[in-house]
Amino acid sequence: MALMTAPVSSNRPLLNRRLAGFGTTIFAEMSALAARTGAINLGQGFPDTDGPAEIAEAASRAVLTGLGNQYPPGPGVPELRTAVCAHQQRFYGLAYDPDTEVLVTAGATEGIAAALLALLEPGDEVIALEPFYDSYAACIAMAGAVRVPVTLRPHAGAFTLDLDELRAAVTPRTRLLLLNTPHNPTGTVLTPAELAAVAELAVERDLLVVTDEVYEHLVFEGAHTPLAGFPGMRERTLSISSAGKTFSFTGWKVGWVTGTRELVTAVRTAKQYLTYVSAGPFQYAMAEALRLPDSYFDGFRADLRRKRDLLGDGLRAAGFEVFQPRGTYFITTDITPFGEKDGQAFCRALPERCGVAAIPNSVFYDDPATGRSQVRFTFCKGTGVLEEAVERLGRLAR
C-alpha cells in the first residue's frame, strides 16, 4: 500500500490559535541574513568568544568521566544547586535551600516558560515591561494568559519606567508581574527606589513576580539588586537566571530558578513534562563557573563596559540617536536622524548597505508602531570586530 503523503487536510490552520502570529524569531531571521551576506552580526546576542577555558574543560571532563551522562536528578545536580545558592548568598545576601528552593532549567527560557505554565490560569493578566524579550509574549500566550504591556519610554537619553503607568496597569485580574532588569533590549536597569516601589505594589496587590535576571552581572553603574531581597518579596518572587550571558556559553542552555519551596515545586511540576531534566554534564561545569573568583565577574563587566563605550561612541559618530544602556550587552538606537522611520526595512537593508546586521526593536512591542524607528545592536563581540563594525556603520551617513 502506498504511504499516505497528502498533508493533513482540514480548513483548520495547523498552528493553534494561541501561537498564531508567532513566526520565526527575529534572531534567527537576522542571523541568517548576516550569514548569507557575510555581514558582521550585531543582531542576535551571542558572544564571538567562548567563556573560560577551565569551565569548558570541566564540561568535557564531566562527559568523559561519566558525570551527568545519564538522566540527572529532576531538580538539577546537587553540586549546581548548592553553587547557585552560594552565588545568591555571595552576591546578594539571599539565602536559599539547595534541596527545596532551587530548580535547574534548560536555560532561562525554559525557566520562564515553566513558571508561566505552572502559575497562570487562562485569562490571568501578566504585566511585562515593553519592549519585551520575544519569548515572553509566546509563553504568556501558550499559558492562555493575557499580556499587559507597560512601556518603557525614552527620557533624557535612556528608557525609563513610569511607576504610575505600572500601578494603573494592575487590575483585579492581574496575577503576575514579569520583570526583566537589566532589561533587554533597552539596557535599562531599575534603580533600588524603583524596585522598592515595584515591591510595594506587588505586596499591596498580592501579585506573583517572576524576575528575569540573566544580565545580572552586566550592570555598568551601580550593582544589580534582586527584587527578591525587598520586604515581602521573598515569598512571592521567582528569580530566574542562566549561564549563557554571564559565562559566555549561550549554547549550553543551563538556567536556574530560585524561590520558596511552594513556588519552585510548582515550576518543577511543569518542567518535569517539558524537558524532564536538563543536560547533565554542563551542570557540573556551571557549578564550577558560579564559584569563580570575583575577579572573573569584575573582568567580564569591565570588558563589556569598554565595548559598550566603543560601540556607543561609534554609533553616535555614525549619526544614530543612542540610548545609553546601564546594563546588558545591547544598545538601542533610533534611526530618525537618518531621515528613516522603519527599523524593519532598515535592518533588512543594513547588511547590503554597510555589512552590519542589527535587530529592529518593533518586534518587541505589542504595537510595532511604538518602536518602529528603534534598532538594537549588541556589543558582545571582539574589540576588532566592533571597530570594524563602527568603521562600516560610519559609511552610512557619507
Q: Does 186 bind ligand PMP (CB under 6 A)?
A: no
Which residue of 88, 174, 211, 250 would you call a contact of ligand PMP, by CB under 6 A?
Answer: 250
| Residues 6 or more apart in contact with residue 246 via CB below 8 angstroms | 214, 216, 217, 218, 289, 297, 300
Contact partner, 327, from ligand PMP, ligand GLN, none, Cβ < 5-8 Å per class: none
Which residue of 29, 33, 39, 44 would you call a contact of ligand GLN, by CB under 6 A?
Answer: 44
Q: Does 244 bind ligand PMP (CB under 6 A)?
A: yes
Give dist(CA 93, CA 99) in Å, integer. 18
Q: Does 107 bind ligand GLN (CB under 6 A)?
A: no
Contact partner, 108, from ligand GLN, ligand PMP, none, Cβ < 5-8 Å per class: ligand PMP
Q: Which of these ranges, 10-18, 92-100, 248-256, 353-361, lies near ligand PMP under the rule CB under 6 A?
A: 248-256
Q: Does 242 bind ligand PMP (CB under 6 A)?
A: yes
> Could you tell me the three cell numbers for 192?
533600588
Which residue of 41, 184, 258, 260 would you call a contact of ligand GLN, by CB under 6 A?
Answer: 184
Q: Does 338 bind ligand GLN (CB under 6 A)?
A: no
Q: Does 22 bind ligand GLN (CB under 6 A)?
A: no
- Smallest CA-to-CA distance from 226 within 129, 134, 90 is with 90
Which residue of 47, 68, 107, 312 would you call a contact of ligand PMP, by CB under 6 A?
Answer: 107
DSSP letter at 71 equals: -
# residues near ligand PMP by CB under 6 A: 13
What is the smallest separation between the CB atom of 341 and ligand PMP, expressed in angstroms?
26
Q: Does 68 bind ligand GLN (CB under 6 A)?
A: no
Helix (H, G, I), strand (E, B) or coil at 298: helix
- For the four alpha carbons of 64, 84, 27 and 355, in that order, the dihedral sign comes to negative
Alpha-carbon torsion angle 324, 329, 335, 341, nearest 10: -120
Q: Which of these ranges, 18-26, 59-67, 247-255, 390-398, lies near ligand PMP under the rule CB under 6 A?
A: 247-255
What is the smallest separation between the CB atom of 135 and ligand PMP, expressed in angstroms?
7
Contact partner, 72, from ligand PMP, ligand GLN, none, Cβ < 5-8 Å per class: none
Return the bridge partners of 174, or none: 125
Q: List the x/- string, 210-239, binding to ligand PMP by CB under 6 A.
A: --x-x-------------------------
What is the smallest separation between the CB atom of 339 and ligand PMP, expressed in angstroms?
31
Which residue of 103, 108, 285, 386 would you call a contact of ligand PMP, by CB under 6 A?
Answer: 108
- For the four alpha carbons of 211, 220, 248 and 84, in that order, the dihedral sign comes to negative
Give the nearest residue (CB) to ligand GLN. Answer: 45
Q: Per-residue DSSP letters for 21-38?
A: T--S-HHHHHHHHHHHHT
Q: Where are the alpha helices (DSSP H) in the chain?
A: 26-37, 53-64, 78-92, 107-119, 134-142, 163-169, 192-204, 243-246, 261-272, 280-290, 294-318, 343-354, 383-393
Q: Per-residue DSSP letters for 303-348?
A: HHHHHHHHHHHHHHHHT-EEE--SBSSEEEEE-GGGT---HHHHHH
If phi > 0 it is left, if psi is from -120 to 50 it is alpha, else beta; for residue 194 that is: alpha
Which residue of 51, 255, 327, 360 would you call a contact of ligand PMP, by CB under 6 A?
Answer: 255
Contacting positions for ligand GLN (CB under 6 A): 25, 27, 44-45, 184
Using CB under 6 A, list all residues that contact ligand PMP: 107-109, 133, 180, 184, 212, 214, 242, 244, 250, 253, 255
